[in-house]
Amino acid sequence: MENVLIIGSTGQIGSELTMKLRGNYKGNIVAGYIPGAEPNYEIKESGPCEVVDITNAGQIAQVVDKYKIDTIYNLAALLSAVAESKPQLAWKIGIGGLCNVLEISREKKCALFTPSSIGVFGLNTPKDKTPQDTICRPKTMYGVTKVTGELLSDYYHTRFGVDTRSVRFPGLISYVTPPGGGTTDYAVDIYYSAAKGEKFVCPIAKGTFMDMMYMPDALRAAIEIMEADPTKLEHRNSFNIASLSFDPEIIFNEIKRYVPDFEMEYCVDPLRQSIAESWPNSLDDTCAREEWGWKPEYDLDAMTNDMLTKLKERFA
């Protein structure tokens, strides 16, 4: 990678990935955003920023030409719970937008990263140590767009030789960007409540396990897969990656080790609970480990310590 365009640079992943890439590479790392979701001061001052709407193919192509882009990170998407309330928009952004960047990547010879998700799996998928290659029959529009995206990306690679790559992100936990409507976002909200000294009202039921990952590990995965030797990639779209798996009680008790008076109660959100129950408890990421050396660095204790430390500093 030399010149990179990040579409969706102000989102949960994009805001941190932009700065990470700018720290790692000397080329143009272009922060693409849409009006109304402008970059923060740090992103604006540290490198080029351009209006890039994923649904506007001409706009994307102009930016690719202007900065001689060789790699695109397509992070534009509606998260799971939001997508259920706006399914047509979720499809327009997730699939219509993906078709735009796939065609531009084909025409302009760009490598393309489009993240997938544990949302591709459904009730018929094995719940524990979910295999890399298994049944993908999601029950949500979010999951449908992610499965379709994996298939389209594979098609463009095999049919046209586009260098498409992807990982299936679990729930992502970060102290930088607030949650944005994902089913796994309770695992971010709970840290915010603990750091503020507030009681946490959990929308996910006790005993509901889901895969999670700390954002620094997720950023490394997004970069390392694009740096990987393509001759070793038997799978491309998309790799299981795993780090943590827990239910609300486990993360609550871990936080109480650091915040002894922290309190939590349950008020289950039926929509988010039904989505959570359709997703795996844990993923088997053997293929990612073997094909490009994936390995997480953070366990639950290390993540909890870092999250609470950083959030308390912010709220202080």
Task: Tokens for 266, please give them.
Answer: 């349950």
Helix (H) / strand (E) containing 113: strand 111-113
Which of 142, 175, 186, 214 is the catalytic position?
142
Distance of CA 177 to the CA centre of its chain: 12
The rounded distance, in Å, linking the Cα atoms of 279 and 126 is 9
Are β-strands 167-169 and 239-240 bridged in parallel, bridged antiparallel, or unpaired?
parallel
Q: Are 226 and 212 in contact (CB under 8 A)?
A: no
Task: Tokens for 304, please give them.
Answer: 């909890």
DSSP lists the bridge partners of residue 4 as 29, 71
Task: Tokens for 234, please give them.
Answer: 């038997």
Beta-carbon-side half-sphere exposure of residue 287 (alpha carbons within 13 Å): 19
Residue type, 214: Y
The rounded distance, in Å, linking the Cα atoms of 60 and 295 is 33
**142 carries an active-site annotation:** yes
Helix (H) / strand (E) containing 246: strand 244-246
What residues are labeled active site? 142
